[in-house]
Structure 1
Amino acid sequence: MKTKVIIFLSLLLLLFPCTLFAANYNNNDYSKLQTFLNSPSAIDGETNGQALNDLYNADDTSTWTGVTWDADNPQRVTSIEWDNKHLAGNLDLSGFTALTNCDISKNKIDSVNLAGTDNLVDFNAYLNNLSQIDLSGNTKLQFLYLSCNNFASLDLSGLSVLRYFECVENKLTQLDISDCVALTNLYFYNNDLTTLDLSNNDNLIIISGSNNNLTGSLDISDKPNLLYCFVSDNKFTSIKTAGNAFKYLDTRNNNLSIIQTDIFSSGQTFTANGQGYIDFVFADNEGDPKAVYLYAFGHSDMVFKNWTINGSEVSKSPVYFINKDNPPTEN
C-alpha cells in the first residue's frame, strides 16, 4: 500500500507541480509575483526572474531571489529586495497586505500598483521609469524614496507618519507636504518647484531643495530641530532663520537682499546687504554648535558691503567669525 501511495503522489507532482507547490502560498501574492517574474526584463532575452537568478524556476519560490515570505499558512510576502537587478515592466503588488518593505531601486520599472499594501513602511523606487503612483492607502509609510523618476506631481495626503522623503530629480512643479507632520528629512532638489509651504513641518532636521524656482521669502524660523538647509540656486529674496542652531545653511545663487538669523540667546539679527547671496557654514568649535563662520559671496557685478548687527556695522570682511565667548553686543 505504501508503494502505491508514493507512486500516486509522484504522479500528482508530475501532473500538477505548480498547483501543489503553491498550495502553502497566498494565491494573490504568488500569482502576481510569478506574472511579473515571467515578464521581459531590461536584459534582452531574459525574464525578470532570470535577471534575478540564473537558476530561476517559475514554480520554485526558493529561486525567487529577494522575496521574503512569512511563516503563516498560507504564506504572505513581507519583504522584496530587488535593487539594481535590471527589472522592467509593470509590477502589481495590490493586495500584498503583509508587505512592509519594498526596494525596487535602480531598475527600469514603468509602474507599481500599491493598492491594499496597508502595512508598507519602507518603499524605495529610486531611479526607475515611474511617472505616477497612488499612495493613498499607505498611511504607515515612514520612508519613501522616489528620486530620479518622471513624476510631475505627487499626492502625499494622509502620510502623517512619513519621516524620510526623497523626490530628487523629477519634474515636480508643486509639492504638498502639509499632512507629513512627522517629516524630518526632506530632499527635493533638481525639480521645478515655485512655492514651498513648510508651516506644518516643525520636525524637520534636513531640507535639501537646491536648484528649483522657489521665490519670495523662506521662513524657517519656527523649525527648532532644523540643522541643515540647502536652498541654493533658487529665487528667494529673503530668508528668516531666527531660532535655529544650524550646522549648515546654503543659500548661494538666490536673489537675497536679507537673511536674518539669531545666533545667541540675546537674539542678535544678522543682515546681509546687497543682491548677493550668503553661504552660512555653522561649524562646531570644541563641541559648541553656536560658534559660526559667516561667508558672504556677491554676484560677479556686486560688491560686498558689510556685516551689521541691529543696523551697526561689525565687519567689512566677507569672512566673519563669531566667537561665542566674546560675542558682539547689542547697541
Structure 2
Amino acid sequence: MLETSARLLRLLSLLQAHREWSGADLAERLGVTARTVRRDVDRLRELGYPVNASPGTGGGYQLGAGARLPPLLLDDDEAVAVAVGLRTAAGQGIEGIGESSVRALAKLEQVLPDRLRHRVSALNAFTVPMLRDGPPVSPVEPALLTELAHLCRDAERLRFEYRTHEGVAGRRTVEPHRLVCTERRWYLVAWDVDREDWRTFRVDRITPKPPHGPRFTPREGPAEDLAAHVSRGVSTRAYATHSAVRLLVPLHEAAERVSPSAGTLEPDGEHACVLRSGAPNLDVMVVHIMLLGLPFEVLEPAGLTEAVRTLRDRLDAALERSTARPAAG
C-alpha cells in the first residue's frame, strides 16, 4: 500500500510538471507497465484529481480542471487566498521566492475548478501591484477581494458602508475600477457616483451592502499609472500639509527607505531625487523626513524650512543642557 501511495504521488507530480505525458513515458518514469499507469490514473480520478486521457498514438494523459477541488484540505476561500498569495510572492522580486511561487501557482491553477479559476483570474486582471517588502497589516477576506474584482470586471455598481480613519461610517455608491495592492493594504479605485469624482477606498474598511448593480459603462481611469496615483493619494493628498524635499541620494537608495504609502519619489539627476509627501502638520513632517536618515534640502513649502530650524534649535538647546549637566558619580 505504501509503495502504491508513493507511486501515485510521483505520478501526480509528473502530471503537474508537464502539460501532457504519453502512457509509455509515464510507465518508463515510474518503472511500471502501461496497464499499471492506467490503473493509477483511475485511482487519481477517484480521489478527485481530474486526469484527461487522449486516445491514439498521439494521445496521452493531462491534468485538467475539475468540477471540485482535489483533496488538498482547502476550501474555496483558502484556495483563492493561496493563489493570490503565490502570485503576490511571484512579483515581490525576493531572491529564490519568485520562481518557486510561479511553479507552485501553475500547479495550483491547473487543478482549480472553473468557478475558482474565474475568481482568481478576475482578481489578477483587475489588481495593480504597488509592492514593497514589509509586514502585512489590515487583513482582508479573500471573498471580499474576489467580490470587488468581479464587480470591476463585470462593470457593476457597488453599494457599501465605509468607515473613515476617524471611525465614522457612511454609505457609498461607486463604479469600481481597479484594486491596488501594497505590501500593507488593499485599495479600491472607483468613481464615486454621489460626489462625481474618483476616490480611493481602503478595502479593509469596506462592508458591501448588496444588491449590486446596475451595470455601467466603464470610464477611463484617473491615471495611467494607478499605483502612483494611489501612492500620491494615501501619502500626500490625504493630508492637510504637503511638502517636497530633495534627497541627496540616488533614487534607488531612497526607495529602500520610502514606502509607496509614505511618499512618492521622482528622479532628480543621477545622484538625487525629490520626495513628495504629506503629514498632519509641519512638525510631524520634519520628524518624518529626519527619520529617513538621509541628507536633504527643502523645496517647499517655505514654512518647512522654519520648522526644520525650530527643531534644530530645540535639539541644540537639549544638547547644551545635557553637556552642561555634571556627570553622574
TM above 0.5 = no
More helix by share: 2
